[in-house]
Amino acid sequence: MGDCELDRCSCGKCRLLIAENSLTILDQVERGLKKFQFNIAAVASGRHQAIREYIESKPHVVLLGLDLPGDDWLETLKRIRKLNPSAQVLVLTDKPSRESVILAKKFGARDYILANTAADRLRETLRSACPIREARLATDKDVEEDIDKFVCDLDEKLFGDLSDTDSED
């Protein structure tokens, strides 16, 4: 598996927890994500397992299926948000309802997506939810600023202050 382990990933990929009871939806999502830079850190099929996996795998994003038994999806969402108020939870379903959309938003889900969503749309939704992306962008900007400062300092050391030579002409 290279530098990545299933439950802890330090390779720069966004770690996902998928909490879904439907094998059909789970298969769709896994196939859709396989070609992108996401690490499925854990898969759960019930509320207790999802919460345990959330604590253990520390995912960046949770894909929470409405197909968990009973109202387990809602209880799972509430519990995860209680554990981490800034948790990035995306509710996933193949049978949307107005009530579930309202409840998902009310209890802190970041987004509500259909299971048969095209892979590109799913990828973009996950990327926008994944905080590792923003961290990488900030790091890239810091590196660019460091390089610019280094080049300016080097220019000054090699060529001196060019404004002094302009005033002597």
Which fold is adopted by the domain 14-129?
Rossmann fold (3.40.50)
More confident call, 134 vs 84: 84
pTM for this entry:
0.68
In the chain, how long is the greatest CA-to-CA distance?
84
Question: pLDDT tens for residues 112-137?
Answer: 888 777 777 888 888 888 876 544 44
What's residue 58's pLDDT?
92
Check if the beta carbon of residue 91 is closer than 8 Å to that of residue 73: yes
Q: Which of 51, 65, 57, 66 is nearest to 39 (CA)?
A: 57
More confident call, 157 vs 138: 157
